[in-house]
Amino acid sequence: MTEQELQKYVEDLSIQFFGRPFLHKAIFNPRLKTTGGRYHLTDHHLDFNPYMLAQHGEDVFMGIVKHELCHYHLHLTGQGHRHRDPAFKALLAKTGGLRYAPASASAANYRYQCQSCQTLFERRKRIDTNRYVCGKCKGPLIKIGNNEKSQAPK
């Protein structure tokens, strides 16, 4: 999905589910890693994590867009737009938006497996298999490979 397609997609969802136009900018922000999207209070634009669309599909991404549009429309109408506000929770339930973004793919770069109990361990940093053992059974660990980081479409 391109930036122009994203803009049109957000505008269409805004009219369809909220009955109000989306008049600001919607963009992909690849720097977002742990969140699905972000609403900016100052200039009212929306950022979306492109990895969420690539990893979880359009249904989940639609829920994320609805979530951010709830923040957008409630803030612009002067109602409670924060996660804890009853107005936000009610509008989110009414439109079918996601309360939480799903966990993104693992950020682990290294994979290890216990030779005794076969438990898998994923780590961001390399570990010394001569020094560390399995936390469950104290068995020896072996490196089984590196994870490939998923790449979102540009």
Residues with catalytic annotation? 68
Cβ neighbours, 10 Å, residue 92: 20
Angle at 2 between CA 151 and CA 18, to 5 degrees: 110
* DSSP state letters, 30-99: TT--S-SEEE-TTT--EEE-HHHHHHH-HHHHHHHHHHHHHHHHHHHTTS--STT-HHHHHHHHHHT--S
Question: Cα separation of 17 and 26, whole Å?
Answer: 17
Scan for tokens 């391109």, then name that residue: 2
